[in-house]
Structure 1
């Protein structure tokens, strides 16, 4: 939340130094926002979740345009420069920053196995092509997907689907 006359500005950071810049800005008492997202990676057959920047090399800072020392901020470790149009520093609407924060805070977490239905439970698919279709839970298929049995033309067929795309009936 902005204080007083503060505005959000966009900073360009040196490659892969966004976190360093955020830390140094915090040490100066400057509010910053560095949006990251969780991304699944599979390396050598091992699945892991890694945090990656939503906007690589960019971060937002909240400053009072009348009192902030823009030169000191530009000289902060990890920061390359302010994003500008001509001689004007780029301001970012507070609504955009608050919506980004809200969206990232509400990002759905992974569903763990204890939350999944049991073998044979009836479920309803709530997303995608098969939305509204009833199915039978067969088994978990890794960290994020499950195998469901759906009835198509009087026969059961297996369907692999994201765990968050179905719910218990």
Structure 2
């Protein structure tokens, strides 16, 4: 929904996994909303798929004309936890933030995220998810843009493990 003249963007915190439900309830009440989403790569049972996920889990933006709209109704909207406020007034988002997010959207409306830095053999990395979480490793080989062979020190010897690039970060 387009933003009305006199409106500004504000932040709404939603209940867990209720961003879409909260946005729909706010639109029904006549508020403009913006829920930036991105495509997350998910691997499950040897199948890789892209699934839409909120860019800011549990948050969405709502356009409000504070002088003309009954913004307190937002607090009781289904899926909404609360409107982010400073004192007793809603906290406005700085000008340009929403436009900057929208400018990064692709043709399908998803925010394009920056590619992860490429890893090279010899780089020290930390595993951030999975069975070896918080383990330090050394990059041995980069098989493609999604998988990396790393060497882990396990029981006094180096063991080669293949991990997704999304599961490691520079150490």
TM-score under structure 2 normalisation? Answer: 0.61
Structure with greater helix percent: 1
Q: Which range is displaced more, 13-22 or 88-97?
A: 88-97
**Partners in 1 of 2:57 and 2:101 — Cα distance?**
15
SS in 2 for 1:10: strand
For 1:86 and 1:8, the matched residues in 2 are separated by 17
2:8, 2:27 → 1: CA distance? 17
1:111-130 to 2 correspondences below 5 Å:
none
**Cα displacement (A) at 1:128:** 5.9
CA distance in 2, matches of 1:20, 1:53: 12
Instruction: Provide the rounded CA distance (Å) in 2 between the counterparts of 1:42 and 1:128.
Output: 20
Indicate whether 1:9 and 2:14 are aligned.
no
Q: CA deviation at 1:77?
A: 0.6
Q: CA deviation at 1:73?
A: 1.6
Instruction: State the Cα deviation string for residues 55-100 of structure 1 (Å, max 9, x = none).
Output: 0100000010101112212111111111122223110023100110
- Structure 1 counterpart of 2:19: 18
CA separation of 1:12/1:128 partners in 2, compared to 1, >3 Å: closer, same or farther?
closer
Aligned residues: 118
Residue number in structure 2 paired with 1:53: 54
Aligned to 1:107: 112
Deviation at 1:29, TM superposition (A): 2.1
**Structure 1 counterpart of 2:70:** 69
* TM-score, with length taken from structure 1: 0.61
How far apart in 2 are the matches of 1:21 and 1:128?
37
Cα drift, residue 52 of structure 1 = 1.0
Structure-2 change in CA distance of 1:24 and 1:129 (3 Å): closer
Q: What stretches of structure 1 move > 2 A for 4+ residues in a row?
A: 85-88, 104-108, 127-130, 159-163
In structure 2, what is the Cα distance between the partners aligned to 1:59 and 1:129?
33
Structure 1: state its 5+ residue gaps: 109-126, 131-158, 164-169
Q: CA deviation at 1:11?
A: 0.5
User: What's the C-alpha RMSD, in Å, of the aligned pairs?
Assistant: 2.5
- Mapped to 2, the partners of 1:93 and 1:102 lie a distance apart of 16
